[in-house]
Amino acid sequence: MDKPSRDNQPTSQTRMGVLSIEKRKYPRFSVELPLNYSRAEGKEILGGMVANASEGGLLVYLPERMEIGAFLKIEIFYVRGLELDTIKSVAKVVWCDLAARESWGEHRYGLQFQYIDQKDLSRLATLLKEVGN
């Protein structure tokens, strides 16, 4: 019910909400793709999962804690036709959410591509178009 104003006229109540404006340069697409990664200076290869992707970066779940600014060599696996294919890149950890699934031994990270070959970028764009349809 409206509350009366000072001059006893009803005033309408407005609800305040949160408006979220997308500031991303590239749209994100939900995917579930396995990936292998290693730290840029390391040799140990570990596995993780891509949760969403764009032409600018990825949201990934990885089994270890990592610092913001770390560089990773990544290889994303996907099926094209009847063949397994990969997309390779060097990416940088730009944000982390360690509490996301820490109890499961997974840590959530935002990765930004630092280097991706034109051929791999083209494969990624095609894959994202297919996911988007």
Q: State pLDDT tens for residues 52-82.
A: 999 999 999 999 989 999 999 999 999 988 9
- Is 114 contained in some domain? yes
- Is 10 contained in some domain? no
Check pLDDT > 90 for residue 106: no
- Is 71 contained in some domain? yes
- pLDDT per position as a tens digit, 26-45: 889 999 999 999 998 889 99
Q: What range defines the domain where residue 70 resides?
A: 29-126
- Is 118 contained in some domain? yes
Domain count, the chain: 1
Q: Token pair of 36, please?
A: 């292998």
pLDDT (mean) for 12-29: 65
> Tokens 């083209």 sit at which residue?
122
Q: Point out the least confidently predicted range of 18-22, 79-83, 95-99.
A: 18-22
- CATH number of the domain encompassing residue 87: 2.40.10.220
Number of Cβ atoms within 10 Å of the Cβ of 40: 13
- Is 17 contained in some domain? no
Top-confidence residue, 67 or 105? 67
- Is 23 contained in some domain? no
- Is 18 contained in some domain? no
pLDDT at residue number 10: 53
pLDDT-derived band at 97, boundaries 50, 70, 90? confident
Q: Token pair of 126, please?
A: 């095609």
Distance CA 9, CA 12 (A): 10
- Is 107 contained in some domain? yes
pTM of the complete model? 0.77
Average model confidence (pLDDT) across the chain: 84
